[in-house]
Amino acid sequence: MRVAIIGQGYVGLTIAVGAASAGHEVVGFDVNHQLVSALNSGKSHIEGISDTDLAGFLGFGAYKANSDPSVLEGCDVIVIAVPTPLDDARNPDLSYVHAAADLIEKNIKSRALVINESTSYPGTLRKEIASRITGVAHLYASSPERVDPGNTQWGTKNTPRLIGGLTPEAVAKAKEFYSTFCDTIIEVSSPEVAEAAKIFENTFRQVNIALVNEFAQIADALGISGREVIDAAATKPYGFMEFNPGPGVGGHCIPVDPSYLAHVANEVGVPATFIKRANEVNLAMPAYVVKRVVAGSGGSIKGKKVVVVGISYKSNVADTRETPAAGVIDLLRAQGATVTWHDDLVGSWRGETSAPIKGADIAVLVTKHDGLDLAALKGCGYVFDCTGTIAGADGI
C-alpha cells in the first residue's frame, strides 16, 4: 500500500518504520522542514529507531520524509499522528488534529482510509476529523497508539492494537493494513470505544501513580519505607498491581491524556474527581521533593551547589516534555541554591547544557538512565533519590 503518516514524531516515525518494514511505500509527512531534512539524511530523532535502520529504508525507497502536501494524493492509507496537547487552561487543544484533517480535505481527492492514532477523547474521529473532511467519502478508523518509547520488550509489533471504525469496510481495511506489521489486532465496536480505551489506560496510570505518590508521603511521615511496603504488598499474587513513587509525571501522555477524559466527562455532567485529585498530587511532587531535600540538608540549601541528575521524564529517553525535573530545578533555585543538571541523553535544554555530577554539595536523582555514574553521585555530600536506586539514601 502507499501510506502517508501525518506527523513524524515519536508515534508517526515509529509507525512509518513499522509500515516500511512490512513492504509498504511510506511517506512521512511533517510540517517541520528541519526534521524532514534530517530524516531524509538518515538522522533519526527517536530512541527506538537507529540511523542505520532509517538509512536502510531510505536507501531502498520504502520511506521518504516530505513536507509537500501534494505527495498525499493517491495514498491508500493516511495515518494522523500529530500532537494533542493541553492549552493554557489545561483544556484539550485539537488544533493540530484539525490542521491534519484540513490538510486531507484540501489535498486528497481520491478515496483513502484515514486512521487517527493521536490520543484524544471519544468522538474525535467522528466529530473532529471525519465531519471536517467533505467532498470525498473516505473510510475512517481510530487506532490509538500505545507506543512506550524506550521499552524494549513491548513495541509496535507485539503490543495488541485496538481498531474501531466508522463503517465495517473501514475496520476491514484498517485490519488489513495493521496486520502487515502488528501481531494482534483487537476490533472494538466503535471508534469511541477505541479512543476511550486509550485515555482510560493512561488515566489508570495517572491515578495509580498519584496514589502511590501520596502513599510515599504518608509512609515517610510514619517513619517507614514506602518502597519496602510496596515491595511487600507486591508479593500478593492477585488483586494488587505495583506502581512506584517518583518526582511527578512527565511526557506527552500521563500528565495530559486524563484531562481529555475530564473534559468530556464535564461536558456530560459527570465530574472526573479522581483525575482532578491525581493531577493535584502529581503536580505537587516537585515541591515535596524540594521540601525533603531542604529538610535533609539541615534546613537550608541557600548557596549550596546542587546537581539534578536525569532531567528527561523517564529512564533511557531524551524526552523532556512536561518533565517534573523542571519544577524541581526551579524550586531548588527559589530556595537560593546554585543548580546545575546532568543528563548525557538530553545534552542541552532550556538554554543550559549538561554539567558534571562531581563537585556538587547535593545531588537529586530525578531520572536514572543506564550507565549513570553512581560513584560520582555517591561522592556528593548529600544525595536525595527519587528513583529507589541507592540503598540507604534519603528519597521517595
Ligand X SMILES: NC(=O)c1ccc[n+]([C@@H]2O[C@H](COP(=O)([O-])OP(=O)(O)OC[C@H]3O[C@@H](n4cnc5c(N)ncnc54)[C@H](O)[C@@H]3O)[C@@H](O)[C@H]2O)c1
Q: Contact residues for ligand X (CB under 6 A)?
A: 6-12, 29-32, 35, 81-84, 96, 99-100, 103, 118-119, 145-147, 149, 252-253
If you ran DSSP here, which 8-state letter would residue 382 be given?
E
- β-bridge mates for residue 140, sequence order: 114
> CB-wise, 117 or 385, nearer to ligand X?
117
Nearest to 384 by CA among 396, 372, 370: 396
Report the residue number whose CB is nearest to ligand X.
9
Residue 279 phi/psi, 5° resolution? -60, -45
* 75 has catalytic annotation: no
Alpha-carbon distance of 139 to 124, in angstroms, equals 15
Half-sphere exposure of 363 (CA within 13 A, CB side): 28
Shortest reach from residue 368's CB to ligand X, in Å: 19
Hey, CA dihedral for 233, 382, 248, 44, is it positive or negative?
negative
Shortest reach from residue 40's CB to ligand X, in Å: 14
Shortest reach from residue 156's CB to ligand X, in Å: 11
Shortest reach from residue 66's CB to ligand X, in Å: 10
> CB-wise, 81 or 207, nearer to ligand X?
81
> CB-wise, 82 or 196, nearer to ligand X?
82
Inter-residue contact 23 to 60 (CB < 8 Å): no
> CB-wise, 148 or 361, nearer to ligand X?
148
Q: Which three three-digit cell numbers place residue 189?
A: 465496536
> CB-wise, 217 or 282, nearer to ligand X?
282
Element containing residue 172 per DSSP (H, E): helix 168-178
Catalytic residue among 75, 182, 253, 380: 253
Shortest reach from residue 247's CB to ligand X, in Å: 19
Task: Give 273-319 as a 3 state SS string.
Answer: HHHHHHHHHHHCHHHHHHHHHHHHCCCCCCCCEEEEECCCCCCCCCC
Q: Which three three-digit cell numbers place residue 103?
A: 490538510
> CB-wise, 56 or 69, nearer to ligand X?
69
Burial of 33 (0-12, 13-18, 19+ CB in 10 A): exposed
Alpha-carbon distance of 336 to 333, in angstroms, equals 5
Shortest reach from residue 388's CB to ligand X, in Å: 23
Catalytically active residues are 253
